[in-house]
Amino acid sequence: MDIKVCYTSDDNYARHMAVSMASILKNASEENKLFFYILDGGISGETKEKIAKLNKIKEFYIEYVNVDVSIFKNFYLGHAHLTSAAYYRFIIADLLPGIDKIIYLDCDLIACADLKELFDTDVTDYYLAAVDDIGFFWVRRQLGRKYEEFYINSGVMVVNLQLWRKDLISKKLIEFGIEVGGKLHFEDQDIINAVLKDKIKRIDLKWNVQISFFEFNNARYHPLYQSIKQAKKNPKIIHYVSDKKPWHSYVPLKSLYLYYLGYTDFNLKHDLKNKIKITWQFCRYKLKNFIYILRYIVSPIIKGYRTDDKKIKIKIFNFFEFILCKTK
């Protein structure tokens, strides 16, 4: 069976895309053939040659589609790790006119399984299928959404390109993006959620296990805690969300990225300064998680003794968090 996958990348991110592609090829069943469509924001010939060599893992088809990058040059970019390439996904339906359905993937993720089951998701009556973004609940209140509403992470999407073309979705996304300007928190993701919200299918969290699932504080208090726990046990795709990426920082499951990097022609060298930084980040991460776990255990005990003094209790823990923030 054919599985069609789309990435968007510029030359900087292409090496990470290659690692992601390596993980897909390595985990693909023999009977499934991979078709990669790359929305190309300026990937060099040399990089493309290195990517082509991934066929030593498994044969695949690849097509680079040029993107008119000027369309998005005035779009809002609030996060340092993002470039306007994040917005290219808005126009995939127009750039891939011969294709009716595709899996759209960010470059910062690793597949741990064959993608056939994901590609088979029935999206006939939906614009796309995706999973909940579990970080930052409060973002949901922006752009007229309600707190309880389903808010997707746009890093993994099964997209119904046929319906996008029929309903002129690219145009709607771009127009909305221009209209809202800097009122966004998560760039492209906010726009996709706001414009397509009525026709998004929710799929299992295992298809986009965001690295924030591993942070105690993020997961334990989340309404989807039970599903998060399940997804962590059996992840199909790991997504390195946030500005800390495995190629320059400590993140949980960094080793998974390094493992698939080994299957590519790219490499990664950390200098001493970088190594020290990563070690510090590791300690800090563990300490932070420890404090959150401690807070979780201790909170009900303190509550039992001093029900009228919540503020003191909160202050003690906020103090630790404050210290951690300052040492970032």
Of the candidates 50, 240, 254, 32, the residue with the CA atom closest to the CA atom of residue 155: 240
Q: Cβ of residue 72: shortest distance to Mn ion, in angstroms?
A: 17
CB of 298 to Mn ion, least distance (A): 34
DSSP for 247-289?
TTS--TTHHHHHHHHTTSS------HHHHHHHHHHHHHHHHHH
Residue 308 backbone phi and psi in degrees, to 5: -90, 0
Tell whether residue 188 is a contact of Mn ion (CB under 5 A): no
Asked if 12 and 80 touch (Cβ cutoff 8 Å), the reply is no
57 or 85: CB nearest Mn ion:
85
User: Does residue 76 sit in helix, strand or coil?
Assistant: coil
Please tell me the distance from the alpha carbon of residue 54 to that of residue 83, in angstroms, as a whole number.
25
> Going residue by residue from 60 to 99, which x/- string records binding to Mn ion, judged by CB under 5 A?
----------------------------------------
* Cβ closest to Mn ion, residue 208 vs residue 292: 208
Site stretch for Mn ion (CB under 5 A), options 74-82, 125-133, 149-157, 282-290: 149-157
* Nearer CB in complex with Mn ion: 155/252: 155
| Piece in contact with Mn ion (CB under 5 A), picked from 2-10, 95-103, 153-161, 187-195 | 153-161
Integer Cα distance of 170 and 180 in angstroms: 16
C-alpha 145/C-alpha 200 separation (Å) is: 14
- 277 contacts 320 by C-beta, under 8 angstroms: no
Nearest CA-CA partner of 20 in 243, 246, 282, 244: 246
Residue count at the site for Mn ion (CB under 5 A)?
Answer: 3
- Minimum CB distance to Mn ion smaller for 84 or for 163: 84
Q: Map residues 98-117 to x or -, x wherever contact with Mn ion holds by CB under 5 A.
A: --------x-x---------
Residue nearest to Mn ion (CB): 106
- Select from 135, 155, 177, 235 the one that contacts Mn ion (CB under 5 A): 155
| Positive or negative: CA dihedral 224, 229, 235, 236 | negative
Residue 241 CB, shortest distance to Mn ion, in Å, is 5
Shortest distance in whole angstroms from residue 104 CB to Mn ion: 11
Q: Name, in order, each residue with C-beta under 8 angstroms of 184's C-beta and a sequence gap of 6 or more.
A: 76, 78, 142, 143, 190, 191
Q: Which is nearer to Mn ion, 108 or 132 (CB)?
A: 108
CB of 108 or CB of 188, closer to Mn ion = 108
> Do residues 245 and 275 touch, judged by C-beta distance below 8 A?
no
- Shortest distance, position 293 Cβ to Mn ion, whole Å: 27
Point out which residues bind Mn ion (CB under 5 A): 106, 108, 155
